[in-house]
Structures are given as structure tokens and as C-alpha cells.
A and B are shown apart, each in its own frame.
Chain A
Amino acid sequence: MNLDIQVTEGEHGNVAYLSGEVDVYTATKLKETLNPIAEQKNSDLVVDLSEVNYIDSTGLGIFIGVLKATEKSGSTLKLTGLNDRVKRLFEITGLNEVIDIEVDGRKEAK
């Protein structure tokens, strides 16, 4: 399974559209794409996961690394479009408490 990443620059920051599986095989590609964006000063990054059906623990680690990078650079990270299985993974690991996750257009308490 592959992972396709499209990044668009909008007026409210960057949006990365992911499609495929985020796992041990695609994690490096995701890291290399998202980390430089997260390291930019005071920028907002939204990651759209609508087309992602599976994330493994290595994939979760990439999001943690990106979160830490945005905190360092004064930027923000937001995830949108999580399916139930992916959402459950963020809930079990408690990461929904530290990462801004938008559910059905509504923001979850941070």
C-alpha cells in the first residue's frame, strides 16, 4: 500500500492531503514532507486524513514528531477527516488530548 501526499498553500496556512496507509513503509516519506513545513515559523499546518484508512504506531510517531516541531517553531498542527478506526487509535493513545483534532467540522476540546 502506498501513501500519496499533496500539499497546498492556502491563505490560512498549508494543507496536506494524505491518501493511502501511514505505516512503517510510508512513515519516512511523510516525515520528510511534513517536518520542514512544521519547522517554518508561525505557520499553520492542517493534515487531512479523509483518504487514510490505516495508521500504525510508527505513523503515529510521525505525528508526534511533527507536533513537537510545530511547538518549537510557534506553529500549529490540526488533523481533520479521521475515520473511526484512526480516531480510535488517537483516543487510545491519549494523543487526542494533545493534538488538535477536528471531528465533523467541530473542534474537540484541546
Chain B
Amino acid sequence: MEETKISMYQLYKDMLTSYLKSKSEHALYHAQQFSKEMMEKDMSPEETVSLHLSVFQELAEDLPEEVVDSFDLLLEVMIGYGLAYREHQSLRDRQQQLESELNVAARMQQSLLPRGEISLDSVDLGVISVPAGKMSGDYYDYALDEQENIGVAVADVIGKGIPAAMSMSMIKYAMDTLPEQRTRPAELLENLNRVVERNIESDMFITMMYGFYDPRSHQFYYASAGHEPGFVYDAHNDSFRSLEAKGLVLGVSPKVRYNEDHLKLEVGDFIVLLSDGVTECRVDGEFIEREQLVEMIRKYKHLSAQEIVDKIFLDLEKAQEFQLRDDFTLLILRRKV
């Protein structure tokens, strides 16, 4: 430390001498380098001021007393800056630590979501899910059972960020304990509701839509817990309609019955599931209407399911100047044969 001080003294002295002699830009550039080095060596602003005074006293003998004394005042003022600077540094360290913890949590959360494409002769599946922050309150799932039934789910935890993300993992774990209910959407939601109701804050809730497609009967069975309605595309008539099902959001009341509904998918028909982060996108300050969303899907419907959801996300992200306000999830399941 003492050595550092001596070398900094020498450095500053050389710098000041050269500047006083030449008044050149080059010497000023050296001063900038010096301040960087100071910060690296954790030197405080008041130490720099006192360094300046000692160097200057050596260079210019017989400094007027007032000039020397005035530095006492300047030193006192700089001490305040020094404290603020050190506080800033410790906050910055703390922030870096939190950030790295958050990154680990976000990676863990990603591992809760299904990975890998499902490549089947019977259906074409595409999904995109993008959190507004680092962690997501949206949950989605797709899974095949032994009979090649494919189950799809989109759930949305109220709010966003870490509290929402923690509740989202609860849905994942509860789903994993209910494999036999994957072909019984209403029963699945009833069981999830019991878990959520017991484990969630009184003013939080989760919405969810779950369905599964049976590739032999071509029926899609579904139930909803207060979730944003999806869409069904009818290829024969080239038309869209809402995919709605009545049912209370998860977590409000311990005993809730859900209705199960079903519809037949013809070749080329598809189901669209989404979270309210999609319909709450604002374009030019206005929420997008469901009709606008339908038009966007229509524009891309000749593409694969994954390409459709990717393109719609890019369009809406761009329309919002790349600032998502809420977690965004969009899933498409199309009957191929």
C-alpha cells in the first residue's frame, strides 16, 4: 500500500509537471488514465485532493497560506463524495451478487419447461414463451402419453417477476404428481385448484387452460380455469372462433367443479392457446383487439406452427418497441393428418 502511494505520488508529480509546462491535451489524457487507476486502487476522492496538495507544495514553493488552507475546506467537502462513492461500490457489488442469483433461478425455471421439439406425424406443435423480466409467471407444457395423446397447457400467474415465478413452479410440480389425470382436463384442474388454494396468498390466483388431443378420434378435450380464451381455426371455412370454457380461476375457493368440453379437429384445423401477455400488448398505446390478433395469425397460417408463433411474437415485440409489459406465451397445435 505504501509502495502504491509512493508510485502514485511520482506518477501524479510527473503528470502535473508536464501539464504545467506544456498545457497540452496529451497531459489531460493522462489525467483521465490516472483517475481510472485511482478507482482500480480504491483511492478516495479526498486522497486525490491531498495528493494534489502535497505534489503542488513540492513543485511550487512558498504557496500563499490561504491557498494551502483552502484545501482543508475542499478536503472536507470531498470526504462526503468519498463516502457516497464507497457506498455506491458496495451497492454495485451487492447488485452483481443478486443478479447472479437471479440468473441461476431463471436457469432453474427454464429447466421446468419442456424442451425439445415434438415431431409427430399426427400434429404440428409450436410454442413461444418470453418473460417480461428475467423470470416468468407464465407456464406452458406439452406432453405425449403412451397412446400418443398430446396434452397441452398454458397457465398464467397473476403479476410477474419472482413471486409469480415461484407460484409457476408450484403448477409444474403439481402437474407432475397427476399423470393419470392428463386425459381428464376438468379433473386435472380440480386437483390443481386444491393445491393452489392451499398454497397461495389470498390476493393471488392462477388462470389455466388445459387440453389434450386424441389422434385416433381427432377430438380435442379441454377445460379452463378462468383463462384468457384461445382460438380454434377451421380450415374448411377459413374462419376463427373463440375457444372458451367457463370456470373459476385457481386459488379462490377450495371446491370448484370445472366443465369439460370437446371439439373435433379436421385436417389443417388448429388450436391457439395464449396468456394475457399477448392480448395485453399495446400497439400505439391501445390494447390489441382479439380480431387484430386473429388477422396476424391468418397472415402466417400457411407457415409451420412454430414459425407462426415466432413471427407473431416478433411483430408484437417490435410494435411495442421491444419492451414487453407482461410475460408472453403463445402455443399452436395443428392436426396434420
The interface of chain A, by Cβ under 8 A from chain B, is 24, 31, 56-58, 60-62, 64-65, 67-69, 92-95, 97-98
CB-contact partner of B229 in A56, A61, A92, A97, under 8 A: A92
Tell me whether A62 and B249 are in contact (CB under 8 A). Answer: no
Q: How far is the CA of A97 from the CA of B246 in the complex (A)?
A: 10
Quick one: CB contact mask for B199-219 with A, threshold 8 Å, 1 for yes? 001111101000000000000
Could you list some 12 contacts between A and B, CB below 8 A?
A58-B159, A60-B205, A61-B158, A64-B205, A65-B203, A68-B252, A92-B226, A92-B227, A93-B248, A93-B249, A94-B226, A97-B248
Tell me whether B203 and A93 are in contact (CB under 8 A). Answer: no
Tell me whether A95 and B249 are in contact (CB under 8 A). Answer: yes
Tell me whether B276 and A64 are in contact (CB under 8 A). Answer: no
A64-B159 contact, Cβ under 8 Å, with A92-B226, A92-B229, A93-B207: no
Q: How far is the CA of A56 from the CA of B326 in the complex (A)?
A: 11
Task: Answer whether residue B247 sits at the interface, using C-beta atoms and an 8 A cutoff.
Answer: yes
Task: Answer whether residue B253 sits at the interface, using C-beta atoms and an 8 A cutoff.
Answer: yes
Q: How far is the CA of A92 from the CA of B253 in the complex (A)?
A: 16
User: Which partner residue on chain A sits nearest B276 by CB separation?
Assistant: A57
Task: Answer whether residue B228 sits at the interface, using C-beta atoms and an 8 A cutoff.
Answer: yes
CB-contact partner of B203 in A24, A61, A94, under 8 A: A61
Tell me whether A94 and B246 are in contact (CB under 8 A). Answer: yes
Q: How far is the CA of A94 from the CA of B280 in the complex (A)?
A: 19
Tell me whether B203 and A62 are in contact (CB under 8 A). Answer: yes
CB-contact partner of B248 in A61, A69, A95, under 8 A: A95
User: Which partner residue on chain B sits nearest A63 by CB separation?
Assistant: B203
Q: How far is the CA of A30 from the CA of B157 in the complex (A)?
A: 20
Q: How far is the CA of A24 from the CA of B204 in the complex (A)?
A: 12
CB-contact partner of A98 in B156, B253, B280, under 8 A: B253
Tell me whether B226 and A93 are in contact (CB under 8 A). Answer: yes
Q: Could you tell me the dominant secondary structure of chain A's interface residues?
A: helix
Residue of B201, B203, B204, B252 contacting most chain A CB atoms (<10 Å): B203
The interface of chain B, by Cβ under 8 A from chain A, is 156, 158-159, 201-205, 207, 225-229, 246-249, 252-253, 276, 280
Q: How far is the CA of A107 from the CA of B162 in the complex (A)?
A: 39
Residue of A58, A60, A61, A65 contacting most chain B CB atoms (<10 Å): A61
User: Which partner residue on chain B sits nearest A35 by CB separation?
Assistant: B203
A61 CB to closest chain B CB (Å) equals 4
Tell me whether A31 and B248 are in contact (CB under 8 A). Answer: no
Q: How far is the CA of A104 from the CA of B226 in the complex (A)?
A: 24
Inter-chain contacts of B248 with A (CB < 8 A): 93-95, 97-98
Q: How far is the CA of A62 from the CA of B205 in the complex (A)?
A: 10
Q: How far is the CA of A95 from the CA of B227 in the complex (A)?
A: 11
Inter-chain contacts of A62 with B (CB < 8 A): 203
Inter-chain contacts of A68 with B (CB < 8 A): 202, 252
Q: How far is the CA of A85 from the CA of B89 in the complex (A)?
A: 48
Inter-chain contacts of A61 with B (CB < 8 A): 158-159, 203-205
Q: How far is the CA of A69 from the CA of B159 in the complex (A)?
A: 21
- Nearest 3 A-B pairs (CB), nearest first? A65-B203, A94-B248, A93-B226
Question: Could you list 12 further interchain pairs (A-B, Cβ under 8 angstroms) beyond the known A93-B205, A94-B247?
Answer: A56-B280, A57-B205, A58-B158, A60-B205, A64-B202, A69-B202, A92-B228, A93-B226, A93-B248, A94-B225, A94-B226, A95-B252
Inter-chain contacts of B246 with A (CB < 8 A): 94
Tell me whether A31 and B203 are in contact (CB under 8 A). Answer: yes
Q: How far is the CA of A56 from the CA of B280 in the complex (A)?
A: 9
